[in-house]
Chain A
Amino acid sequence: MAQKPIREVQAKELIHTQWVGPGKPEFFLEKTDVGKCVAKVDELFGKRGKRGYVKVAESEAEARQWVDSLRGKEIEIDGKRGVINHFIIEPYIEHKKEYYLAFTCDRDRDVVLFSKKGGVEIEDQGDSVIRIAVALEKEPSFDELRVTPKELHDTIRGLLHIFRTCDLGYLEINPLVYESGRVYLLDAVCRVDSAAAYRQKNTWGTWDIPDGFGTELSLQEKAIHELDNRTGSSLKFVLLNPKGRIWTMVAGGGASIIYADAITNLAPAEELANYGEWSGNPSTDEMEEYTKNILELMTSASPLPEGGAGEGIIKKALIIGGGIANFTDIKKTFTGVIRAFEKYQDKMRNIKIYVRRAGPNDVEGLQLLQEACDRLGIACETHGAEVAMTSVVEQAVKELGVQKSSPVTA
């Protein structure tokens, strides 16, 4: 549940199919030979022109050749790795003037951002950006739009309508071109509010929307997503570094961030295998499924290094962390964790479990988990509210021997 980016082609399709009223921009959905054209990588990252992922080609064949040369390539954008698979090819539009137009949210206003300096990143726009705040239920008046070119008013109104009715969190058209009485959207960046998916079934609600660039999912991640969609609780999991040695199963949206911070503070970031979060008092069965999927990844995605995998040598840590729960039942949820451990005990010989959790029925829950691990021969230590929340992180990092080399000693 959050704002999620959609691809340029999806944004354009949304605008095309949901448009109401005059001022509709031009769309190129018919598959004809377009002649001179623009090809772009459509993979949820920005600054594509600067990065060399936009190509102006003299013919469609040339554009396709360029596309084929890139398809399937793994690239790195701002430290995030992903494979290029999506492209967009559009006719080249001869134009003189470019505008910047964006729609965003204030707490109680919708905001239209407009600039006559199109094609330039918003950060580099300086004072040229005009900000028009419109009350949520109101249409922008002519007076409010006065600062924008009159010939664009209908288009601005139409886009604002889609921004509102389609539950978009952000929509940016940069550049927007007005040429010979026609409006062209040369680029579109769009984020949808995934919490509204249930009522956007006829627009984007059924689309498969990734979290961002480089977020292809493993089987287990997909299984957890499905689990999360079915439950009223929250079960999140993102695989970051399958070879990482510190795995987490932290309860609570807030606490899970703090644990991730603590781990990346103390250990090299690549040791953090995943981000995960469970909350809202999930059922025993849900916790069992959730834990099993994580253990599957943890025990198979990256086999233990050969040679040193003897009994009692800790190679990986699973941190079951969390604050003091308000209402999540520790005993009930840990019962699910124990069931998963029972099924994976054979593969868990070199894994140590570090637990810090408190809340309703915590004394019993922690004791059950400790006893189960002792019985199953899984290394485990359990703590409640008597220790600081992230103290187990420090311990795990130390026992794994993956401390960040501090500049002083190094």
Chain B
Amino acid sequence: MSTLFTDQTTAIVYGRKSVSIQRMLDFDYICGRRPSVAGVVDPNSGVPEKVFYGKDEFLLPVFRSLQDAQEKYNDADVIVNFASLRSAGAVVKEAIERKYRIIATIAEGVPERDVRGWISLCHHDTILIGPATVGALTAGAFRIGDAGGSTEHFIESKLHRKGSVGYVGKSGGMSNEMYRTIAKHADGIVEGVAIGGDRYPGSHLLEHLLRFEHNPDVKFHVVLSEIGGREEEEIAGALKDGRIKKPLVAWVSGTSAAHFPKDVQFGHAGAFAASIAETAEVKNMILKGAGAYVPSSFEELPETIENVYRMLKSKGNITRMAEPIVPNIPTDRRHTHFQCTISSDNGEESTYGDRPIAEYITDGTLLPVLAKLWWKTDLSPRTLKYLEMILCAVADHGPAVAGAHNAIVAASAGKDAIDALCSGLLTIGPRFGGAVDSAARAFYDAQSRGLSPNDFVSEMKEKGERIPGIGHKVKTVHHPDTRVTALLDFVKKQWEDLPLTNYALDVEKITTSKKPNLILNVDGVIAVTLIDVLLPELPEDVREGFFDVGYLNGLFALGRSIGLLGHVFDQKRLKSPLYRHPTEDILYGDGRFLLP
């Protein structure tokens, strides 16, 4: 490709650099192209990034690894690498392996041997930019991170539309200054690259000049180099042997070094003349000798650029185009502090997900609504049916269990229905009803670690822990819990492949052989069957946090709310008086143990 980027280029940004990502999207919006950032990689968090495109706010997907990002966005062929100087290398190497076309590294202070290692690993069709740079940009098409600066400045520098100059320089900061100069004294850049101030940058000046040479939009080159290194000799060679035919304006800074009373390492690592050949004077001379337009100082560079521009214009090589109309980006954009991805009352019609609520009402079944609002998806009829069976199974379990008991005590104390319901719900936790998620996690974890049912049981025994989802107060293997039987029968009939359920039943065989009441209880059966039947039907992003979000306990809470409200209404109708626990049922004392 004769250009680094087009207006179709998209990138993966490595590192959650919110401001830089936003700058890229603002550039896209001003240029009238689609968003150029496909996704972000943040090894520490997959929380989506809130961004603006114009005035509207969107969520940008964030991945935990480059692999995930590439799988999802295979057509993004640019990596903008914001990793720190110590981790930047691993990112570059992985990106090279993954055959990304352009890998731009921002970090400053990467050891030279590392960057040279990247260069020798590089495929011939991969272009490294940096490290120690702000990056590169193609006018009107794509920018890397902060290249080009803030919106008002890049518009002023005409970076939102193509000019006729190919610019390459070492310094990132000076590239921005030069874009302005080129916009003022010529008609702006086609493409600009800051290769970085290191001694061995990933790509060097000449590579970019040769690409500009093949880009018909580029009418002349501008190069801003520095003291240190001898690459200007290669450029001079290319000018002499005709590989560079377009006019080339160049300046090498660092003439002051000769006047310093001591050795000075300039701010850029590469800006140090190790020999006479690396001084600014010699390099300017070599370039001039090879036919480049070299001014006598940096201050005359704008004039030199303007002269070359005028010359080409008078020859008819450059025609001026009308300036595009620039859309406005509101200055008062504020990120929202509240987000919702499951339903909306914002459009013409209120929806659950993308489907109007009215349609759900017309269908008249509840579980598809639950599936949409809880998991943002539609489920198969048999799974919906099974979920409904679960709700039936957990709706109530008599007045004596913790939840119902609390609700009854609250209701008879005169609290209203909602207070009393909450009082009951608040008992749901690790000991009451809340064991579904932990049972699911325990069985799933044991099976995926490849533990045999026997090993799993022994491991839990060694740790001195109960297996969540196993055990019942009264029911035994001889007097099975009919709720469990009903659920299991349906599942076994409807699904053939039930790996975790079968695993749990094998565990039950072992535990009941030790003690007959160590059966797979309602929590346990709900947990393992839902992993087998529900989990595979969920969308990927929902599946990811399956054990952490609390879906299964939620299912219990939802079902049991029906029963809790039932008890509350019952008490209200009975006009139950305030409950007071009988004193004879309380052990009074100071808690001392009986001593012989």
Could you tell me which A residues sit within 8 Å of B by CB distance?
A: 1-4, 79-82, 105, 107-109, 135-137, 164, 167, 169-170, 193, 195-196, 198-199, 211-215, 232, 234, 236, 238, 240-241, 251-258, 260-265, 269-270, 272, 275, 277, 279-280, 322-327, 358-361, 385, 388-390
A-B contact pairs, 5 of them (CB 8 A): A80-B261, A195-B85, A252-B267, A264-B256, A324-B180
Q: Which of B85, B147, B176 has the most CB of A within 10 A?
A: B176
Q: How far is the CA of A326 from the CA of B136 in the complex (A)?
A: 11
Which residue in B23, B173, B280 is a CB contact (below 8 Å) of A323? B173
Residues facing A in B188-230 (CB within 8 A) are 197, 199-200, 204, 224, 226-227
- Closest A residue by C-beta to B200: A107
- Closest B residue by C-beta to A274: B264
> A252: which B residues are within 8 A, CB to CB?
171-174, 267
> A279: which B residues are within 8 A, CB to CB?
173, 267
Given A254-B268, A323-B174 in contact, is the A167-B113 Cβ separation under 8 Å?
A: yes
Which residue in B116, B157, B255 is a CB contact (below 8 Å) of A265? B255
> A261: which B residues are within 8 A, CB to CB?
253-256, 280, 297-298
Q: How far is the CA of A326 from the CA of B119 in the complex (A)?
A: 26
Q: How many residues of chain B get a CB closer than 8 Å to chain A's CBs?
A: 68
Which residue in A258, A322, A326 is a CB contact (below 8 Å) of B253? A258
1/0 contact string of B94-130 vs chain A (CB within 8 Å): 0000000000000011111100110110000000000
Number of residue pairs A-B, CB distance < 8 angstroms: 216
Contact B298 A262 (CB under 8 A): yes
Q: Which of A107, A236, A251 has the most CB of B within 10 A?
A: A107
> B172: which A residues are within 8 A, CB to CB?
252, 254, 326
Which residue in A170, A255, A263, A264 is a CB contact (below 8 Å) of B171? A255
Q: How far is the CA of A324 from the CA of B120 in the complex (A)?
A: 34
Contact B254 A214 (CB under 8 A): no
- B134 in contact (CB, < 8 A): yes
Which residue in B262, B267, B272 is a CB contact (below 8 Å) of A3? B272
- B524 in contact (CB, < 8 A): no
- B146 in contact (CB, < 8 A): yes
Q: How far is the CA of A330 from the CA of B378 in the complex (A)?
A: 52
Could you tell me which B residues sit within 8 Å of A by CB distance?
A: 19-20, 23, 84-86, 108-113, 116-117, 119-120, 134, 145-150, 153, 156-157, 169-177, 180, 197, 199-200, 204, 224, 226-227, 253-257, 259-272, 274, 280, 297-299, 302
Q: How far is the CA of A389 from the CA of B251 in the complex (A)?
A: 15
Q: How far is the CA of A262 from the CA of B257 in the complex (A)?
A: 12
- Closest B residue by C-beta to A81: B261
- Closest B residue by C-beta to A214: B262
Taking the closest CB of chain B, its distance from the CB of A80, in whole angstroms, is: 4
> A275: which B residues are within 8 A, CB to CB?
260, 264, 266
- Closest B residue by C-beta to A79: B261
Taking the closest CB of chain B, its distance from the CB of A243, in whole angstroms, is: 11
Q: How far is the CA of A264 from the CA of B255 in the complex (A)?
A: 8
> B112: which A residues are within 8 A, CB to CB?
3, 105, 167, 169, 193, 195-196
Contact A214 B263 (CB under 8 A): yes
The 3 closest A-B pairs by CB, nearest first: A254-B171, A212-B263, A323-B177
Contact B108 A107 (CB under 8 A): no
- Closest B residue by C-beta to A360: B150
> A199: which B residues are within 8 A, CB to CB?
111
> B177: which A residues are within 8 A, CB to CB?
255, 323-324, 389
> B260: which A residues are within 8 A, CB to CB?
79-80, 240, 269, 275
Taking the closest CB of chain B, its distance from the CB of A338, in whole angstroms, is: 21
Which residue in B146, B267, B299 is a CB contact (below 8 Å) of A234? B267
Contact A215 B262 (CB under 8 A): yes
Taking the closest CB of chain A, its distance from the CB of B193, in whole angstroms, is: 13
Contact A326 B149 (CB under 8 A): yes
Contact A264 B259 (CB under 8 A): yes
Which residue in B146, B150, B263, B274 is a CB contact (below 8 Å) of A80? B263
Taking the closest CB of chain A, its distance from the CB of B571, in whole angstroms, is: 62
Q: How far is the CA of A327 from the CA of B133 in the complex (A)?
A: 12
> A255: which B residues are within 8 A, CB to CB?
171, 173-174, 177
> A324: which B residues are within 8 A, CB to CB?
149, 153, 157, 173, 176-177, 180
Q: How far is the CA of A264 from the CA of B262 in the complex (A)?
A: 15
Given A240-B264, A359-B150 in contact, is the A169-B173 Cβ separation under 8 Å?
A: no
Taking the closest CB of chain A, its distance from the CB of B155, in whole angstroms, is: 12
Q: How far is the CA of A361 from the CA of B19 in the complex (A)?
A: 13
Contact A254 B197 (CB under 8 A): yes
19 new A-B contacts, CB < 8 A, other than A211-B263, A212-B263, are: A81-B262, A105-B199, A107-B119, A108-B116, A136-B113, A137-B120, A193-B113, A195-B85, A241-B261, A254-B174, A255-B171, A255-B177, A257-B256, A261-B253, A261-B255, A277-B266, A279-B267, A326-B176, A359-B149
